[in-house]
């Protein structure tokens, strides 16, 4: 059964509660230097800081970085796929960000480089078959609206064994990896989800056609993700891992 979200006002709390589980897996300690990859507006970075950690956040979105700085986070605009920070961090952390980065090998290598010897890397990201129905509908819609296949955005949604192998190849020893299904109600509907999370997809379509494209994708998904009571439920599948930097 999907986890219940009674009203749209609970959306933020729902996602925050899930993100706190990966914070507990990280177990930040006072005085630790932690790098937050894909820090967004800095909400979770601030949570790590409340535990006494010294947090540096990076994000590719300048507006998100500005918001993180307003929270007092030492944040900078940086593409994690080209991360080249020296080995100064006790831990690297990421929540719901790595799946936006197709060059996961670049991300993992950069995380390894940024960690001190024995440092830990803890993350939660989308897994294989995450939002599979939504993803399929988005691709079908873009093709219907004549978007070239090479311009369709790509996600990194690995299976657990694939992610484990890549981490090991990048110099980590994996101590925990777990995939879990998380059917998630969308009280505001699939259209609101599109507007929040699918901008990279619909941004490939001329503005005059975007509304039609969203309606097309919504029609494709209605028989799959909309219940008989009219509720939308997204098909999330996530993966959490904890790994340590392996050094010679």
CA distances from 31 to 3, 49, 51, 66 (A): 36, 9, 9, 24
How far is 124 from 5, CA to CA, in rounded Å?
21
- pLDDT tens sequence across 48-69: 999 999 999 999 999 999 999 9
Q: Is residue 146 domain-resident?
A: no
CB 39 within 8 A of CB 75: yes
User: Is the model's pLDDT at 18 over the cut of 90?
Assistant: no
Position 4 pLDDT exceeds 50: no
pLDDT tens digits, one per residue of 66-77: 999 999 999 999
Mean pLDDT of 202-211: 98
pLDDT digits (tens, 9 = 90+) for 133-161: 999 999 999 999 999 999 999 999 999 99
* Domain-embedded: residue 163: yes
Count how many domains the chain has. Answer: 1
How do residues 163-196 score in pLDDT, each as one tens digit? Answer: 999 999 999 999 999 999 999 999 999 999 999 9
- When mean pLDDT is compared across 3-7, 29-33, 113-117, the lowest value belongs to 3-7
* The pLDDT value given to residue 11: 43
**What would the DSSP string read from start to end of 50-117?**
HTT-EEEEEES-HHHHHHHHHTT-EEEE--GGG----S-EEEEEEES-GGG-S-HHHHHHHHHHHEEE
pLDDT for position 14: 46
Please check whether residue 22 lies inside any domain of the structure. yes
Neighbours of 126 (CB within 10 A): 21
87 in any annotated domain: yes
Assessment of whether the complete model's pTM goes beyond 0.75: yes
Beta-bridge partner residues of 241: 123, 177
Measured CA to CA, the distance from residue 220 to residue 21 in angstroms comes to 33
Residue 166 falls within a domain, yes or no? yes
Identify the band that residue 19 occupies on the pLDDT scale cut at 50, 70 and 90: confident
Range of the domain at 124: 9-131+155-186+235-245
Q: How confident is the model at residue 17 (pLDDT cuts 50, 70, 90)?
A: low
Q: Give the mean pLDDT of 236-247.
A: 97
Q: Is 122 part of a structural domain of the chain? A: yes
Phi, psi of 128 (to 5 degrees): -50, 130
Element (H, E) at 14: helix 11-26
User: Tokens standing for 120?
Assistant: 């830990």
69 found inside a domain: yes
Under DSSP, is residue 31 helix (H, G, I), strand (E, B) or coil?
coil
Kindly report the CATH number assigned to the domain that includes residue 67.
3.40.50.150
Do strands 54-59 and 89-95 pair parallel, antiparallel, or not at all (unpaired)? unpaired
119 assigned to some structural domain: yes
- On the question of pLDDT at 9 being above 70, the answer is no
End-to-end Cα separation, the chain, in angstroms: 46
Among 124, 69, 50, 60, residue whose Cα is nearest residue 92: 124
Q: How far is CA 139 from each of CA 10, 151, 187, 202, 216, rounded to the nearest angstrom?
A: 30, 10, 24, 10, 11
Any idea which residue has 């986890």 for tokens? Answer: 3
Element (H, E) at 191: helix 190-197
* Cα distances (angstroms) measured from residue 192 to each of 138, 218, 239: 14, 11, 24
Over residues 85-99, the pLDDT tens digits come to: 999 999 999 999 999
């Amino acid at each position: 059964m999907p986890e219940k979200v009674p009203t749209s006002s609970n959306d933020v709390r729902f996602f925050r509660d899930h993100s706190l589980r990966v914070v507990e897996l990280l177990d930040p300690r006072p005085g630790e230097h932690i790098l937050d990859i894909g820090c967004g507006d800095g909400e979770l970075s601030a949570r790590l800081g409340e535990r006494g950690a010294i947090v540096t956040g990076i994000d590719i979105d300048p507006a998100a970085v500005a918001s993180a700085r307003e929270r007092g986070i030492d944040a900078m605009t940086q593409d994690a796929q080209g991360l080249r920070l020296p080995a100064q961090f006790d831990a690297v952390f990421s929540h719901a960000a790595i799946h936006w980065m197709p060059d996961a090998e670049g991300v993992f290598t950069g995380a390894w480089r940024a960690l001190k010897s024995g440092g830990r890397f803890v993350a939660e990201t989308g897994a294989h078959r995450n939002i599979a129905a939504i993803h399929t509908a988005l691709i079908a819609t873009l093709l219907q609206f004549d978007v070239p296949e090479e311009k369709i955005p790509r996600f990194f949604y690995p299976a657990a064994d694939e992610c484990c192998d890549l981490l090991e190849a990048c110099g980590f020893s994996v101590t925990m990896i777990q995939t879990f299904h998380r059917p998630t109600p969308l009280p505001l509907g699939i259209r609101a989800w599109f507007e929040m999370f699918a901008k990279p997809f619909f941004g490939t379509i001329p503005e005059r056609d975007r509304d039609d494209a969203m309606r097309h994708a919504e029609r494709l998904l209605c028989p799959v993700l909309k219940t008989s009571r009219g509720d939308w439920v997204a098909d999330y599948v996530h993966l959490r891992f904890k790994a340590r930097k392996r050094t010679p």
